[in-house]
Chain A
Amino acid sequence: MSATVIGQDIRGGKKPQASWKKMPPVAWVVLAMMIFFGVAAPGFFSAGNFLNITLQGSVLLIMAVAATLVILTEGIDLSLGSVLTLAGVTGVLALQHGLSVPAAVLVGVLTGAACGAVTGFLITAGKLPPFIATLGMMGIAAGLALVLTRQGAIYSDVPAFIFLGGGSLGILPMPTVIAVLVFLLGWIVLYQTDFGRYIIAIGGNEAGARLSGVNTAWWKFLTYVAAGALAALGGVIMAARLRAADPIVGNGWEFDAIAATILGGTSFEKGNGTLGGTVLGVLLISVLRNGLNVIGVGAMWQPALIGLVIIAAIIFDVLLKQRGVIQ
């Protein structure tokens, strides 16, 4: 059961691959964890719990897709967590001011796109290193969220809004549905459109892409806009799940999203990586958090174990690559 689930996830992101050698090491780690948790806690292997994992991992997946697009251009976006926070705040504020739910979602997403546009502009026109432009935006977006909320959570219980976070379509929770749609959209954009080809080209060799006539500045700018919009969508879903926008809810999410991306095999150099790998990185973190809960590890031990597993997984990955066991 679990093996087929994982197998499908890998192939979801890439062309079918025959050799197990091409399976990213993190897939083995996820598989091993699932077997361990399955043996340790009978409740782990149930449809309900799997849906739970997808629900818990949904916002992280959306954020990680955003992080992956940016990292593939050899960039980084440290503002993703703050943008998540800020978009939740503007979305809920829009609801509080009587806007309809679709309009409020749009306000949230556009907030993120605007943040992305500012960082994209600073990076492409201002020639700032992405780390710095997005570090600045991180402070600005987090600060604006505090200013707008007067440092406290703001609430909304409009039913159609709550449905986005707590409702379900058939048996699938809404956040899962949205995350899967985001992933599919990201996959299509990355692997089936010019935008995606340029993202990969910029990461592989920016100067080369520019010399062969690609408007690299424009596509890079768009990448940051897209990442901002995605992080914002994550923020709106988060706010809908919590029925509130909390001004510090996104703290640290940028690191989680970037870590999931790197665990999934994307590297900061040369824009190597795949969106399918990122799904595995997200699964690693989500399965770990869920599994620790299911087998009854207390909240006290969880951060330390999460850290140890992340380090073990990346060491496993790097060692296998160094030995040439996998490509």
Chain B
Amino acid sequence: MTGAADVKPRGWHLDPRILYTGSRLFVLGLLCIVLTAASPVFFTGTNALNILRVASLLVILGIGETIVILTAGIDLSIGAVLTFSSVIAALAIKAGVPLPLALAAGLVVGAALGFLNGLMVAVVKLPPFIATYGMMWVAFGFAVVLLKGQVIYGFKDDFRFLGVGNLLGVPMPIIVMAVLWIPTYLLLRHTTFGRALYAVGANQEAARLSGVKKDQTLILAYTLSGLLAAAAGLVYVARLNASEAGIGANMLLPAIAAVVIGGTSLFGGEGGIVGTLIGALIMTIVQNGMNLLGIESVWQGVVLGSLIVVAVLLDQWVRKVLASENN
């Protein structure tokens, strides 16, 4: 008994995963406490739902980007895929296609573009950065061509419900987010594909040698990213009540930022969508807090940029502490 106690290393023994998530939850909690103290409006049900609703788009895009980044790749095309697939759905709706079919068309197109990204990365072996950069131009470009410079606007209530409706008092974007987040979580944590994803990201060659179907895993990862971008696009257009070529332009970097603040490693194999959810919430709460405190929105870029740096520095520090605890 005493012997066993002796060989135990010093310090607390936490699963690193819990510690990483914990450190982010800590930041999130701290933000909430500070803002609750600073603004009477912050800690209210309405504001909480508001934050979740605003964060939902970022979360949907972010979990797609997380899946790709877990494979040590990157998807620069999510903003453009969001645009293109929402334009397809919007055009279909305006052409009188039944709503479910129009929505499905948007999702299928998004998944198809993601599939092409996956083919380019896995089969042709293009660097993900340049393959998805090219796809960014292609998807954005064809959205421009399809729209002919116009804006499609004024949708019926059945479609708009997706963006502005409520179900049991909960805004629809939040429900869509939950409906997408939960299965993705299960997919990553409890399926062969999920394990393969982490394995491919950690070490492609080792994963291949140990029998992981690397190409299929990569293709599916990019396809999911495209599909999720399309879903985000549908919700966004339903909320805006308009579809135009520029809507996705400012979506890419916040989504990557949410992934990074959430602690997913850009080198692949480490992280997950719990972190991305927290990352997106941190970003949204910071923006929300700045609004509530009357800080001009021009400062948001500076604050978010600093946040990214601080979050990852914190990460490094946690890792260091962890490493010294284990020695």
Q: Which residues of A contact B (CB under 8 A)?
A: 122, 126-129, 131-133, 135-144, 146-147, 150-151, 251, 255, 258-259, 262-263, 267-268, 300-308, 310-311, 314-315, 318-319, 322
Contacts and interface: CB of A to CB of B under 8 A. Distances in A.
Contacts of A138: 253, 305
B20 interface: no
A143 B303 contact: yes
Contact count band on B: 35 or more
Interface stretch (B104-112, B155-163, B227-235, B294-302): B294-302
B126 A136 contact: no
Given A135-B257, A301-B141, A304-B145, A146 B301 contact: yes
Contacts, number: 141
> Which secondary structure dominates where chain A touches chain B?
helix
Contacts of A251: 249
Interface in B283-327: 298-309, 312-313, 316
Contacts of B76: 255
B298 A136 contact: no
Nearest to A303: B141
Contact of A136 (B124, B137, B306): B306
A255 B124 CA distance: 21
Contact of A133 (B135, B302, B309): B309
A315 B129 CA distance: 13
Contacts of B266: 129, 131-132
9 contacts: A128-B312, A143-B303, A147-B298, A258-B133, A304-B144, A307-B139, A308-B141, A314-B126, A322-B125
A146 B298 contact: yes
Contacts of B142: 304
Of A141, A144, A308, A314, chain B has the most CB atoms within 10 Å of the CB of A314
A310 B130 contact: yes
Contacts of B140: 303-304, 307
A3 B81 CA distance: 38
B257 A307 contact: no
Interface string B67-92: 00000000010000000000000000
Contacts of A307: 134-141
A6 to B, nearest CB: 22
A143 B305 contact: yes
> Which secondary structure dominates where chain B touches chain A?
helix
A137 B305 contact: yes
B120 interface: yes
B145 A268 contact: no
B260 interface: yes
A127 to B, nearest CB: 6
Nearest to B134: A311
The 6 closest A-B pairs by CB, nearest first: A143-B301, A304-B141, A139-B305, A307-B137, A303-B141, A307-B138
Nearest to A310: B134
Contacts of A263: 130
Nearest to B319: A127
A262 B130 contact: yes
Contacts of A268: 127, 129
A301 B145 contact: yes
B200 interface: no
Contacts of A258: 129, 133
Contacts of A267: 127
B196 interface: no
A300 B148 contact: yes
B308 A318 contact: no
A143 B298 CA distance: 6
Contacts of A137: 305, 309
A311 B131 contact: yes
B302 A139 contact: yes
A264 to B, nearest CB: 11
Contacts of B134: 307-308, 310-311, 314
B256 to A, nearest CB: 7
Contact of A128 (B130, B139, B313): B313
B267 interface: yes
Contacts of B253: 135, 138-139
Contacts of B256: 135
A248 to B, nearest CB: 10
B169 interface: no
Contact of A255 (B133, B138, B305): B133
A245 to B, nearest CB: 15
B308 A136 contact: yes
Contact of B302 (A144, A150, A315): A144
A315 B120 contact: yes
B149 interface: yes
B315 to A, nearest CB: 9
Given A146-B301, A318-B125, A139 B257 contact: yes
A306 B130 contact: no
B135 to A, nearest CB: 7
A132 B298 contact: no
A128 B144 contact: no
A136 B309 contact: yes
